[in-house]
Structure 1
Amino acid sequence: MNLIFIDSIWFTFMLLPFLIFIARIADVTLDTLRIVFITKGNKIIAPILGFFQILIWLVAITRIMKDLDNITYYLAYAGGFATGNYIGLILEEKFALGIQMIRIVTQKDASSLISNLYEKGLHSTSVEAKSNQGKVHVIYLIVQRKMIQNIISLTNQYNPNAFYSIEDIRSVDVQSERINTKQKKYRHVGSEK
């Protein structure tokens, strides 16, 4: 590379801050995903992401330390951090990794909802219970996270006033036939049998 180009104002105040910004976005995005994989108990992907995340961070911080007087580096670094958090959360939401348990509590008869869930390939456990407002039905499903919105939509079709709670599940015995962990088992809401 030409030394005149490296010493130019354009390189110092535009290109390098932009590269620091991009590096920081990549670093923080990988870190966000790494944390998600750690919470899901993934012992293979989390360390690999951590390796690349820290490598990118070292490159960015090394460049900043060479020129501590340049405020644009600090702004690029901070801006990349904020943007990386945002992008990491969006990617995590798109991937919808993991398994969750959804608990649906309805005061209406739940038999039609349960049979519709079963028709769509979703196995559930249900119990009749009593609340301080009377008789309720509690339905439990363990599903892939990406299936949650469809189940909520289906629940709202049958009972818009149903209460539901969702919990992350770290591990599941996938050998069981009653666990809804395979996306191919699920037919989207409104699809034919």
Structure 2
Amino acid sequence: MIYLFIVMFKIVEVSISTVRIVLITKGERKIGAFIAFFEVSLWVILVSTVLNNIAENPLKIIAYALGFAIGNFLGSVLEERIGIGMSEMTVIVREEHGLPLATQLREKGYAVTLIHGEGKSHPRFVLMMYVPRKKVKGCVELIKETQENAVITVSDKKPIYGGFGMIRK
């Protein structure tokens, strides 16, 4: 029973830690600090439980490590589902496909900036967008449905100021 307790609480603690780190890097310091209080409280309880009579019960180490590993995995899944923040998407398409794709994306509510570019053998359009992380997957699917040869890159960003649909800080 103690092993299950250790695994479960370590999973919760590490999952909370993963979300807290992301919140802080996205600028949500107050929420991150609030979460840190509960995270470290769980950690102290866990460590004291694991270290108590550890020489006689070394399986506690395995339970702790298992909880840590599972917590990392579940924490990253949870963070991805929460989808805090913005992503910058860059899409490169042939010139003739740029304006129709931008129009389609704008009709779906995405803000798009078009930039003319030169590829190796064809003129290109570069579409730049800042998309809420929760909507990136849907946006990528929409682009792939209409432009199977598009080059799509996505990077997490921390917007500072301005832009369509962005909060001005």
- Matched with 1:130 is 118
Matched-pair contact (CA < 8 Å) for 1:123–1:180: no
Alignment of 1:84 with 2:82, yes or no, is: no
Q: Which amino acid aligns with 2:128?
A: Y
Aligned to 2:20: 34
Cα RMSD (Å) of the superposition?
A: 1.6
Q: What is the one-letter code of the residue matched to 2:25?
A: T
Quote the offset at 1:127 in angstroms. 1.3
What residue in structure 2 maps to residue 44 of structure 1? 30
**Helix, strand or coil at the partner of 2:29:** coil
Aligned-pair CA distance for 1:137? 0.3
Which amino acid is the alignment partner of residue 58 of structure 1? V
Unaligned runs of 5+ in 1: 1-14, 182-193
TM superposition score normalised by structure 2: 0.91
Give the Å deviation of 1:22.
1.1
Counterpart residue type for residue 57 of structure 1: W
One of 26, 35, 40 as aligned partner of 1:54: 40
**TM-fit CA distance, 1:171:** 2.5
Q: 1: CA distance between counterparts of 2:153 and 2:147?
A: 15
**Candidates 134, 145, 151, aligned match of 1:163:** 151
The alpha-carbon distance between structure 1 residues 102 and 84, as it changes in their structure 2 partners (threshold 3 A), is same
Cα distance between partner residues in 2 of 1:88 and 1:120:
31
Query: 1-side partners of 2:137 and 2:35: how far apart?
Result: 28
Specify every segment of 5 or more residues in structure 2 that has no aligned partner in the other structure, as ranges: none
Give the residue type in structure 2 aligned to 1:18: L
Identity of aligned residues (%): 26
Give the Cα separation in 2 of the matches to 1:134 and 1:179.
33
* One-letter code aligned to 2:37: F
Q: Which amino acid aligns with 2:52?
A: K
Structure with larger Rg: 1
